[in-house]
Structure 1
Amino acid sequence: MIGYAASLFLFLSLSSPGKASGILSPSPSPDGKEIAFSYYGDIWIVKADGGMARRLTDSDAFESTPVWSPDGCYIAFLSDRDGSDDIYVIPSTGDEPPRRLTYHSSWDVPYFFNDRGDTLYFGSRRLEYRGALYKISISGGTPVKAVDFSLFNVRPIPGTDTVLFVRGATPSWRRKYRGSANWDIWKMSLKNQIPVRLTRFNGRDGWPMYSALDGRIYFVSNNTPDSTAQLFSMKPDGSDRKRITDFDDDVRFARISRNGELIAFQVFTDLYTYSVRSGEIKRIDVQVQEDYKNSEYYRQKLTRNATEFALSPDESELAFVLFGDIYVMEIKEDGPGTIKRITHTPEPEKYVSWHPKEEKLIFASLKSGNWDIYTVEPASEKKFFRDYSFRWKRIISSSATEKKPSYSPDGKKIAFIRDNGTLYVADSNGKKEKKLYDKNDVLWVSWSPDSRYIAFSRTELAWREDVYIVPAEGGRAYNITQHPNDDYKPMWSSDGRRLSFASRTAEGDLWIKYVFLREEDEARDRDYWKEMEDSLDSIRPIEIDFDGIKERIHEVAKLRGGYNYYTQSPDGRIYAIQAETPSGTDIWTVDWLGEKLRRRTQGGVNPKLIAISRDKKHIYYLDGKGRLKRISLDGKGNTPLSFEIEVEIPDTALKRALFEEAWWILKDGFYDPNFHGVDWSFLAEKYRDLAISRRTDRDFHYAVRMMLGELNASHLG
């Protein structure tokens, strides 16, 4: 029987060598002669001066953070091969397969072995929000808490019971941070557990390491003129700080050999070492056998995870977006019919909507490298679901972002959003653009039934929106709400008499409201509307009395919810609202007079999008798991609009598209137009190839986080 190491060698011997770029979490062996590291989601070992690395683990999981036992015989590492981040141990020779050491749904990360090598200390959040230090026998058993307060980057001072550790709260990928969540270095005896603070720099001091060779503590700090993180040393009491390196990029994940002679660390994609004895800084070239264990294609069968949908004007078709592509589903009385894939790109398509009179879709796509607006229509048939080929056309394009397109009801104009939420209109062919409002942060847009006005909501203060009406040909925009609530998503009734919107508070109160556009309608009482509504003609052209319009706002219903989705029937007489229930959020309906409030779904379907049919007999919705469904308002049925679609995308193309989408989200959405002083376009060039070349999702995510970290902003990544 072939042993584990022999079979692994035989497998790798069939592959080709290549240079390793983007090594993570390097860890020198106790004698400083080898370095273990994470690459392509596996643990590898290479000689300290570089050369061909040997693969220690081989799985489809992500494995990182190798830690050597004091005798160099074992390596503990983090792996998610069984679902969560647990710790495994493997002989450093690779003679045996890895053995699982910890079992918990929370993450566990190895820090160090004790001097005897029979106990491993590790960090975990299994009982504490910020985490604590635990220990476990390497033969297995129940972990025991060693320190019950938050600490990380825990490293031992060999031969003693003292550890060095870090306290702070910023992620490792955030660059040049200064603030209340700074990292500082501490030391403490594990016996008496009296912590002593060693650094008080208003920045980041981390990855502490003790060298018995010179009796100094080595660490990484961004206490530099340009705030890049460099390797430093100091005396054990925190005095006499000395800078060692001078790289253009940050030093990360530094670790020292047990004998105190060799420090390994990474700088961007490269592996470096520092000799404590000689002071030499050396870049290490590493070769690996490229086995391409992952498929060159991403393949998945999808029955959920749709992100949006739109009903066709005649309600015989439903367009939806799945994994970034547009599909059209035939709608039958008993459920879904034929489904056709309309777009087929690695880049995402979004914000799909229908032409009001033609068999045509309009949407935004990242196909060209930035968000542009396209149309697509069947090449030869009258319906999408009957055709096999489709004609694309890019109609609005610039170096900026264009998104959220919608046709006017007469089909002659297009409204769309550019960059950070600036409202524009153009002819239906994309020509003759006009900016309708100078300020940005427009979020929701709705055409009036006569195509003469556009209602929109935009952020006015912090998260609070107001609702505006502006002529589609340009002119003054009227703020019709001016209320401390968050007023959003305006929608016109088809008769042109009312404009509805949602209104919420930070305390979780959610109202549906409407405003009468004419004083004449405001003067009519409730009995009049109940008796005469069906016989009234639509207002064409629409008339709006802006004077005193805020005084004509009416509350329809109050429910519990945050920034929840709602919609109305095309005639504006029935509302469907996503509202809170004990089990999540469900769909409720109410008529425009505030009567017949009914709960329409049960069990917390958590709807993301909702639509009501023209005849007000059905509600279509997208549930929280991305499944399309239809329910009858007469209570006679709930019809799943099921799909089962196989997607196949080249892995490199998919990663490129994901990277570009992430970059554009910050390009358009970051609050500071100067990006905290960094060149955001340059950072795309810096990190794109690194991210695309990663084999595992977590490697890819880390590369993107490094890019986000360059912004030095909170709540990113």
Structure 2
Amino acid sequence: MKSKTKFSKKLLPSLNGTGQGYFTQPTISNKQIIFVCENDLWQVPLEGGRAQRLTSSRSETHSPVYSPNGQWIACCTMEEGEHDVYLMESSGGPLQRLTWLNSVTHIVGWSHDGQYIWFRSTHQAVHSRGSDAWIFRVSINGGPIERLPYGPAMTVDLQVNGKKGVVLGRNTLSNSRWKRYRGGMAGEIWVDKNNSGDFKRLFRDLQGNPVSPFWLRERLWFVSDHDGIGNLFSCTPEGGRLRQETFQKEYYVRFPATDGKALIYHVGGELLTLDLEEKSGPERETLIPIGWHSTKTRLQRRFFYGDEYWEETMIHPQGHEVALTARGKLFSMPFWEQAVRQHGIRDGVRYRMPCWLPNGKLAAISDAPLKKNKTKKLSAMEEQLDVFGSTPTEFPDCSHRLPPGRMQEIAVSPRFQHLALTTSRMELFLINAETGRISKLDDSKIREISDPVFSPDGRWLAYTKHLSLELTAIFLLDL
């Protein structure tokens, strides 16, 4: 679906490639755009045309930003294991690693002289959340990094042409990530008009989530969803004369970028440009026609070795086969003969915590709808206990409701059709796998109960429970 906004659209049929890509995170310099698609960098002229792939990365590449002179591209990628800052010629070439921080990292801009890359990182934060990041800089020649004196922030932008204004974005994760969020972590815009170190917060009473603040033509621009959909707005450095610049009705405006001459942004997987000379109105928005040619490698079928994705295993009580989950699917496999067999719904359901019952049936916890009488269904947020026969089937022999909370550990009675389950609500339950009867055995007021195990005769249940934050004890329960 396309946006309902009536922006101008140029059609270039001869550019049609292998289908529409998802174009995002654009940056612009001298009428050349670099954007991200399929975790790689691509280049296309501002007026549109055939996109040229610049990278062929083994990992995600994100947050590209042109240098002021357009010669370089700074970006983040995980080519060597972690998100770090890399430098590349804007026409393409090898990536040069500049940081080794092992943390959440994003490029936020450049120094005016083009000698330093500015980025945000959480490597000095107590928590690794992006909102706890600080702004740092690193030379294009490498060397030590330097923390900039702006305090916690996610973005920073400096005015050009002799102006001294500084704008900071705090808590400014993309507002399309949590649409119409109004909580305590909503975005904040802080402005220092004279680079004096005295910042003032703008729009304290704005009922929205402002993000991505930047300077353009002596006005402060940002994205906000206080009208329901994220659009570009602009104002004076003092926060006055607020003006709506884009008029999207369906998809949020994301990742605006400018070189001072043109303004581009991402909407619903497309790249658009805004005419800065026209007065406010939807007709200012123009779709950039991009001819995109790719093999779509990440959409093609891939095959995995199952042993690399085993999650949980349990040997049959008679010792002749094993039950396991891999990539959320439930399997059983004889040790010496026959093939691997899948139990349960083939796709779209996640199974976990498989276990063999003493009668040879296979039980597992799933997020499938309840199939009792093929009519009654659980909420999609709930899980259930599925019990399968020895022969693989799509649907279980029976399904039972589970106690409240997320099931964390499971133990099987060696003699009876009973399961002991611990939950995230710090409770311990006994479930009859034949009748579905649930009995609460114990609870804790401090931390989760753990390590349930039955005695060989099935009469006793041992488990660990906290007596205090520092002290635990083993409890023994006569069933």
Q: Give TM class, smaller chain.
A: 0.7 to 0.9
Task: Say yes or no: does 1:68 pair with 2:8.
Answer: no
Q: Structure 1 unaligned runs (5+)? A: 1-15, 331-335, 374-394, 423-439, 465-485, 493-498, 509-561, 581-585, 595-717
* Cα deviation digits, residues 408-432 of structure 1 (max 9, x gap): 9xxxx965246xx59xxxxxxxxxx
Q: Which residue of 2 aligns with 1:217?
A: 220
Q: How does 1:214-363 map to 2 (within 5 A)?
A: 215-224=218-227, 227-259=228-260, 261-279=261-279, 280-294=284-298, 296-303=300-307, 305-312=309-316, 314-330=318-334, 337=336, 340-343=339-342, 345-348=346-349, 350=351, 352=354, 357=359, 361=362
Alpha-carbon distance change, 407 to 342 in structure 1, aligned in 2, over 3 angstroms? closer
Deviation track 1:659-714 (CA, whole Å, cap 9, x = no partner) reads xxxxxxxxxxxxxxxxxxxxxxxxxxxxxxxxxxxxxxxxxxxxxxxxxxxxxxxx
CA distance in 2, matches of 1:105, 1:445: 38
* 1:82-481 pair list within 5 angstroms: 82-94=80-92, 96-129=93-126, 130-147=132-149, 149-159=151-161, 160-168=163-171, 172=175, 173-188=177-192, 192-200=196-204, 201-212=206-217, 215-224=218-227, 227-259=228-260, 261-279=261-279, 280-294=284-298, 296-303=300-307, 305-312=309-316, 314-330=318-334, 337=336, 340-343=339-342, 345-348=346-349, 350=351, 352=354, 357=359, 361=362, 371=369, 397-398=374-375, 400-401=377-378, 403-406=384-387, 415-417=398-400, 464=425
Q: Which has the larger radius of gyration?
A: 1
Q: Which whole-Å CA distance do the structure 2 matches of 1:257 and 1:216 have between them?
A: 13
Higher fraction of helix: 1
Q: How far 1:60 moved relative to its partner? A: 1.6
Shift of 1:329: 4.5
Partner of residue 42, structure 1: 40
Aligned to 2:232, the other structure's residue is in SS state: strand
| TM score, norm. by length of structure 2 | 0.76
CA 1:353–1:222: 2 relative to 1, 3 Å = same
Q: Can you list the C-alpha shifts for 1:7-60, whole angstroms capped at 9, x where unaligned? A: xxxxxxxxx92344321211222x3x1221110000111111222111111112
- Tell me how far apart the structure 1 counterparts of residues 406 and 420 of structure 2 sit (CA, whole Å): 7
Name the structure 1 match of 2:27: 27
Q: Which residue of 1 aligns with 2:450?
A: 564
- C-alpha change, 1:457 and 1:63, in structure 2 (3 Å) is closer
The Cα offsets for residues 199-255 of structure 1, whole Å up to 9 and x where unpaired, read as 22232111112122xx2222111121xx22111111121111111222223434333
Q: Residues 398 and 50 from structure 1, CA distance in 2 versus in 1: closer, same or farther, beyond 3 angstroms?
A: farther
Separation (CA, whole Å) in 2 of partners of 1:441 and 1:206: 35
Where does residue 392 of structure 2 map in the other structure? none
2:153 and 2:169 in contact (8 A); partners too = yes
Q: Which deviates more, 111-120 or 265-274? A: 265-274
Residue 55 in structure 1 maps to residue 53 in structure 2? yes
Q: By how many angstroms is 1:145 displaced?
A: 0.9
In the alignment, the residues of structure 2 paired with residue 119 and residue 365 of structure 1 have an alpha-carbon distance, to the nearest angstrom, of 51
Distance in 2 of aligned mates of 1:192 and 1:258: 25
Q: C-alpha separation between the residues in 2 aligned to 1:207 and 1:180? A: 18
Q: Deviations over 1:361-383 (max 9, x none)?
A: 466778xxx6466xxxxxxxxxx
TM-score (norm. length: structure 1) = 0.53
Which residue identity does 2:158 align to in structure 1? P
User: Shift of the alpha carbon at 1:337?
Assistant: 4.9
RMSD: 4.1
**Partner residue of 1:515?**
none
Shift of 1:282: 1.1
- 1:488 is matched with which residue? 428
C-alpha distance in structure 1 between counterparts of 2:219 and 2:172, whole Å = 26
Q: Distance in 2 between matches of 1:322 and 1:39?
A: 30
CA distance in 2, matches of 1:134, 1:81: 21
Residue identity opposite 2:100 in structure 1: Y
Q: Tell me if the contact between 2:412 and 2:419 (Cα under 8 Å) persists in the aligned partners.
A: yes
Q: 1:278 to 1:500 in 2, by over 3 A?
A: closer
